[in-house]
Amino acid sequence: MAFADDLLALAQDIANLPSERRQVNLRRAVSTAYYALFHLRVSEATLNWARPELRPMLGRLFDRGQIHSASNAKKAALNRYFKTSPPSGPERIIAEHLEIAEAEASELIELVTAAFASWRAIREEPDAQAFLLSMLGTKARERKSSVQELS
């Protein structure tokens, strides 16, 4: 689990960097944190494998898509569980911890998924294309203004 812990510490360090590039740092921190969570889960799963020398090979078999599907299924199951107003106890405590772990990762993935879908819906629109050009830097924005003036 040391690698996952190192990745999480790196994510925290990146998020706290003083910089003019705050948004870039935050995005990299989120990505690194998600990667840390992925490695934590794979590491924990492979620890159950009886043959330690084969654990790295087993870890490479995990699929991010399947992990995402499993997370969504667990999130749905936890939602159903909490709707029953379960009593306090060890089972509820475990479910609460699982809910927190699932919610954060799932919310980030859902935001990215929604961003992809939104982009696909507007990708041909002039404003969307102008947005793409705006990412090129000052010279590109100046050219865009010049082109608009000529139109």
| CA atoms of 55 and 137, how far apart (whole Å) | 46
- pTM of the model as a whole: 0.59
Q: Which domain holds residue 28?
A: 1-62
Compute how many other C-beta atoms are within 10 angstroms of the C-beta atom of residue 39: 20
- Give the model confidence (pLDDT) of 90-129 as tens digits: 888 888 887 776 666 556 656 656 766 787 788 788 777 7
Has residue 141 got a pLDDT over 50?
no
How many domains is the chain built from?
Answer: 1
| Closest listed residue to residue 55, CA positions, set 43, 38, 66 | 43
Q: Which residue has the higher pLDDT, 103 or 76?
A: 76
- Give the C-alpha separation, 8 to 51, whole Å: 27
> Is residue 1 included in any domain, yes or no?
yes
Residue 9 is assigned to a structural domain of this protein: yes
Residue 122 lies in a domain: no
Is residue 121 assigned to a domain? no
